[in-house]
Amino acid sequence: MNERKRIFDLVKQGVISTEEALVLLENIAKETGGRVKPSEDDISPKEWFISSDRSLDDESSMDAIDELTQLENLEHQIDEINIQLIELNETLQLEESAELLQQKRTLQDELAKLMAEKQVLEAKIDEKFYHKANQHTQTETDSWKEQASDTFSQVSDKLSDVTAQLGRFFKKSIKNVSQTVEDNVEWKELSIKVPGLAVTSFEHEFSYQESQPTILDFKLANGSIDFRTYDQDYIKIKADIKIYGKFDESDPLAAVMKRSTIELTSDKLIYHLPNKRIKADLVVYLPEKTYDYISARVLNGDVTFDHLQGKDFFVKVTNGDMAFQDVRATMIELEGTNGDIKVTDSNVNDIVVETVNGDVRVGSTPETARINLINGDVKLTFVNDGLQALNVNSVNGDIKVAMPKNNGYELSAKTNFGSIQSRLENIELVEEVNEKMNHQLSLRRVADTTAKVTLSSNTGSIYIK
C-alpha cells in the first residue's frame, strides 16, 4: 500500500489526527529528498533517470530536476488538501452548514486542478524516462547476450553432477540436524510483543449544580448516551471514556477536555465530544421535571431515554439504535441511517421518523405519526384512541399496524410486489385492487374521531388488524 494512502486511511479510521498526518507526510518528503545512495531496488524510476543519466546535456538534466521538484510540490499540496477534506467530512457528518459545504466544494475544485497539473507533469517525466530507458537497454543488449550464452553453457555441463551431490548432501544434513536438535534443544515458551493501538481507559463523573437548564444539547462521535431521571436536583453525567492512540497531553482527562465543548448556562447545557479517537459512553442523570428541548446527535452509538418528560426531542444517529421507554413528549423527531428505532409505553403527541436501514416499532398511540424508511419493517401497535393522522412508507419491508378499536379512520394501503391482508371489523370497503404488480385497499370506519391513514410499501406486505 502506498505510504500516503496508508496515512489517509489512518486518519479516516481515527487512529491519528490530521496534524500528525501532516507531520508524517513531511517526514516522508524529507526522507525521499535526503536519500544519498539508494539501492537499485529502492530507487524510483524517475530518480534512476536523473542519477544514471550520462547522455543528456546539462540543460536537459536541469529540466528533469525542475520537473521532479514541481511534481513533489504538487504531491505535497494534494496531500494537504486531502487531509483538509477528511477533517471537513468528519465535521459535516455531525453538523451541516452552507459555509462548510461551500468550503468543501472549493477544496474539491482546487484538488481537481492540482490533479490535472500532476497528470500533465507526470506524462512529461514518463516520456523522458522511457526514452532514456530504451537507450540504456539497447546499449547493453549485445554484451549481455554474450555473457549469458557462456554462462548457460557452463551451467548446462555442471547441472547433472551438482544435482546428484545436492541430493545426497541434503538427505544427510537433515538427518544430522534433526538428531542434534532432539538431543540438545530444550523447548521454551516465548512471549513476543507485537505492535498494537494504544488505548487509555478511565471513568469520570461530571456534575453541574450551578443551574438547572431545560435545554440539553449532546453530540458524540463514538459512544452511547443513556438519559434517565433520578431523585437529585442537579445534572450528573457518568462517563466511561476510551482514548485510541496518544495525544500530547499526559493527563487523559485534560486531553478529552481540550477536544470537547462543554458549556453551562442558566437554561442550556452543551456537551460536544466530536473527536473520532475518543469513545465516551455516557449515563446522563436528570432531575425529574419537564425539559423544553433535548437534542442528541451520535455518529456511532446508541441513544436511549427512560422515564423522561419533555416538550421536543431530536435524535440523529448514523450507526446505532434509538429507544424511548416511558417518555412523555409533545414531539419526537428521529433521523437514522443504520439501526433500529423503538418507542414503547410512552405518551407522545407527534412522531416523525426518517431512517434508511433498520426496523421501527411504536407501542404507543400518538396523535400524528409520519414514518419513512428504505430497508426495514414497521410494527405499530395503537392501543388507545386519539389517532388523527398516520403516514407510513417503506420501500423494502413489511408494515404491520394494529388500529385502535374505537377509532374511526379512512385507510388507504398500497404495495407493488407484496400483499395486503386486513382483519379489521365493522368497516366499509371503498376500493380493492389485486393485480400482478399493483395491490390497493381503501376502507372506512365511521366514529366520533376519524384518522387519515396512508400505508405504502414497494416490495413488502401490509398487515392491518
> What CA–CA distance (Å, rounded) separates 69 from 28?
15
List Cβ neighbours of 71 (8 Å cut-off, separation of 6 or more): 46, 118, 121, 122, 125
Task: Tell whether the model's pLDDT for residue 34 goes beyond 50.
Answer: no
Instruction: Give Cα 151 distance to the centre of its chain.
Output: 58
Provide the pLDDT for residue 142: 53
Predicted pLDDT of residue 250: 87
pLDDT confidence tier of residue 8, bands split at 50, 70 and 90: low
Q: What is the pLDDT of residues 322-376, one digit of tens each?
A: 999 999 999 999 999 999 999 999 999 999 999 999 999 999 899 999 999 999 9
Instruction: Report pLDDT digits (tens) over 56-69.
Output: 445 555 666 677 77
pLDDT of residue 158: 53
Q: Which cell numbers hold the place of 103?
A: 468550503
Q: Which of these ranges, 348-362, 387-401, 414-428, has the smallest mean pLDDT?
A: 414-428
Burial of 263 (0-12, 13-18, 19+ CB in 10 A): exposed
The pLDDT value given to residue 337: 92
As given in the structure block, the three cell numbers for residue 344 are: 414503547
Which tens digit of pLDDT belongs to each residue from 238-256? 999 999 988 888 899 999 9
Distance CA 48, CA 72 (A): 16
What whole-number distance in Å separates Cα of residue 317 and Cα of residue 303?
8
- How confident is the model over 280-293, as pLDDT tens digits? 999 999 999 999 99
- Residue 258: partners with Cβ closer than 8 Å, 6 or more residues away: 247, 249
CB 10 within 8 A of CB 21: yes
Q: What angle do CA 145, 151, 152 make, to 5 degrees?
A: 90
Whether the predicted pLDDT of 93 surpasses 90: no
Beta strands 278-287 and 225-230: pairing type? parallel
State mean pLDDT over 23-43: 56
Q: Where exactly are the structural domains of the chain? A: 3-149
Q: Are 129 and 45 in contact (CB under 8 A)?
A: yes
Distance, CA of 380 to CA of 367 (rounded, Å): 13
Judged by average pLDDT, the poorest of 81-85, 236-240, 435-439 is 81-85
Q: What is the pLDDT of residues 195-241, one digit of tens each?
A: 556 789 999 999 998 889 999 999 999 999 999 999 999 999 999 99
Mean of the pLDDT values across residues 66-88?
76
| Measured distance between the N- and C-terminal CA atoms of the chain, rounded to whole angstroms | 57
3-state DSSP call for residue 213? coil
**pLDDT surpassing 70 at residue 411:** yes
* Confidence class for position 70, pLDDT limits 50, 70, 90: confident
pLDDT computed for residue 109 by the predictor? 80
Which is higher by pLDDT, 152 or 251?
251
Q: Is residue 408 left, alpha or beta, with left meaning phi > 0 and alpha meaning psi from -120 to 50?
A: beta
Q: Which residues contact 199 (CB under 8 A, 6 or more apart)?
A: 242, 243, 244
* Mean pLDDT, residues 381-402: 92
What pLDDT was estimated at residue 56? 46
- pLDDT score for 39: 45
- pTM score, two decimals? 0.62
pLDDT at position 35 is: 44
Give the span between the Cα atoms of 72 and 75, in whole angstroms: 5
Cα dihedral across residues 246, 251, 256, 258: positive or negative: negative
Is the pLDDT score of 50 beyond 60?
Answer: no
Backbone angles phi, psi at 303, to 5 degrees: -130, 125
- Average pLDDT of the chain is 80
Per-residue confidence (pLDDT) for residue 101, from 0 to 100: 77
**Can you give the pLDDT at residue 323?**
97
**Better-predicted residue by pLDDT, 262 or 97:** 262
Which pLDDT does position 62 carry in this prediction? 62
Helix (H, G, I), strand (E, B) or coil at 116: helix
pLDDT at 72 over 60: yes
Q: Is the pLDDT of residue 55 over 50?
A: no
Quick: pLDDT tens for 228-240: 999 999 999 999 9
Write the DSSP string, 403-439: --TT-EEEEEEEESSS-EEE---S-EEEEEEEETTEE
CA pair distance 299, 282, nearest whole angstrom: 14
pLDDT over threshold 80, residue 162: no
25 in Cβ contact with 4 (< 8 Å): yes
Q: What is the pLDDT of residue 1?
A: 46
Q: Other CB atoms closer than 10 Å to residue 143's CB: what's the count?
A: 9
Q: Quote the cell numbers at residue 395.
A: 420501500
Q: Is the pLDDT of residue 278 over 70?
A: yes
